[in-house]
Amino acid sequence: MNKKLLAQILIPALIVLSIGAIWIYKNTETLEPKVTESSADGKESGPVNNDFILETDEVNIETLSAYGLPIIFDFGSESCDPCRRMKPDLIAVNAAMQGKAIIKYIDVWEHTDEATGYPITLIPTQMFINADGTPYVPSYDLGIDFMMYNRKDTGEHALTMHEGMLTEEQMLLILEDMGV
């Protein structure tokens, strides 16, 4: 009778332990997410640096400028209809420009402190930075209205911004003018 009682206790305990072990084994990858980029054939090719992922929670120009690549920051929000309509173009440009330019999107309602200090009066608004860390200056008329901001104390060019939506083609045209 002791063996029967022992079996009635051990068998359910072993089943529970087995289920727990299987769950842990299957969920190990989701417990520690891996960031990977896809190669042209769609297969994973290795880890990606977070600096090249589209969405961000900070505007860190110094860190990103160290890569020596042109940068486009898009200030927007998921609650903004034009921002949502522009997002697929941002995703496409970010994917196409990996290793050639840095495209970043920041939600200004979720990260209001990161938009402070920039002349953002509406969203979406984009900021353009050359590969050398200087503000972008269009070399010719691209048919896109840019706003140029100068420092009050020195008159030096400080920022180049654009307000409103940009298409994928317009962003690629700007990046081409930036030397990509």
- The per-residue pLDDT for 116 is 86
Of the listed ranges 51-55, 120-124, 145-149, the least confidently predicted one is 51-55
Above pLDDT 70, what percent of the chain? Answer: 83
Q: Quick one: average pLDDT of 100-127? A: 92
- The per-residue pLDDT for 178 is 94
- Asked whether residue 113 falls in the same domain as residue 155, the answer is yes
Backbone angles phi, psi at 82, to 5 degrees: -60, -35
Q: CA 168 to CA 176: how far, in whole Å? A: 12
- Asked whether residue 88 falls in the same domain as residue 17, the answer is no
Tokens representing 92 are 């496409």
Model pLDDT for residues 70-82, shown as the tens digit of each residue: 999 999 999 999 9
- The per-residue pLDDT for 112 is 86
Model pTM score: 0.71
- The per-residue pLDDT for 30 is 44
- Asked whether residue 166 falls in the same domain as residue 112, the answer is yes
- Asked whether residue 61 falls in the same domain as residue 91, the answer is yes
Model pLDDT for residues 14-63, shown as the tens digit of each residue: 787 677 667 676 665 444 434 444 433 333 444 567 888 898 888 888 88
- Asked whether residue 86 falls in the same domain as residue 21, the answer is no
Q: CA 66 to CA 46: how far, in whole Å? A: 22
Q: CA 154 to CA 40: how far, in whole Å? A: 47
Range of the domain at 20: 2-33
- The per-residue pLDDT for 4 is 78
Asked, for residue 48, whether it belongs to a domain, the answer is no
Question: What are the E-state strand segments in 18-174?
Answer: 36-38, 44-47, 55-56, 71-76, 102-107, 125-129, 147-150, 157-163
Asked, for residue 117, whether it belongs to a domain, the answer is yes
CATH number of the domain residue 122 falls in: 3.40.30.10
Asked, for residue 46, whether it belongs to a domain, the answer is no
- The per-residue pLDDT for 92 is 96
Asked, for residue 162, whether it belongs to a domain, the answer is yes
- Asked whether residue 76 falls in the same domain as residue 111, the answer is yes
What is the number of structural domains in the chain? Answer: 2
Q: Quick one: average pLDDT of 105-122? A: 89
